[in-house]
Amino acid sequence: MITRADWVLRTPTPLIIKTAALIGAGIRGAENAIAGTNGRGGQPPGIHADAHIDGVLTEIMAGEYLRLPVTGLYDRGRRDLDDFAEVRSTRNQDWGLILANDPDDGPSGRVDAPDAPFIMCVVEPAIPPTVVYLVGWLLGKDGMIQEQYGTVMGGRPRFFVPFKDLHPMSTLKIRGEKP
């Protein structure tokens, strides 16, 4: 069980914020416009630009913290960090990690990798500074349990893991690291 004291504070530079905005709103926005969705459950394009920006920002900040390259920015078929971990973000400090296991969920049906660590982040946008908290992590399979299953995110069934049930970032071992 983690508490707010376990969260890792990261402050992105203005250049990282601009990069996240360009990639999040630009490249991912263009990909979604071409696909006719916004990448979030088949909703119309143009919605969630801030979520795409936050997603890129947290991938960059988590990669920097773990010293892993960000591999999912341009190749959406790869995991976010060194093809090893996935990163999720929210602006709600009282939320949790949401996992999907539904290949039939509209045009962007999602099945999250059970063997991947999922890193949860909270973005607090401010002028200045924007801050990112690396809240914690959990293996996909450990979050995809019946007790966590319910209806969240606009009525779609998902696995919801409260922040308190995540592991501290300090306990995440990268492939090949000894415990």
Specify whether the CB–CB gap between 59 and 70 falls below 8 A. yes
Indicate the domain borders of the chain.
4-171
90 Cβ neighbours under 8 A, 6+ residues apart: 54, 120, 121, 122, 123
Separation CA 70–CA 175 (nearest Å): 15
Sign, CA dihedral 7-9-10-11, equals positive
- Tokens 């200045």 locate to 128
Backbone angles phi, psi at 118, to 5 degrees: -110, 125
**In the prediction, which pLDDT does 53 show?**
84
Segment 135-158, tens digit of pLDDT = 999 998 898 887 777 776 666 778
Residue 108: pLDDT over 50: no
146 Cβ neighbours under 8 A, 6+ residues apart: none
What's the whole-model pTM score? 0.81
Segment 69-101, tens digit of pLDDT = 998 776 666 788 988 899 999 988 888 898 887
111-138 average pLDDT score: 87
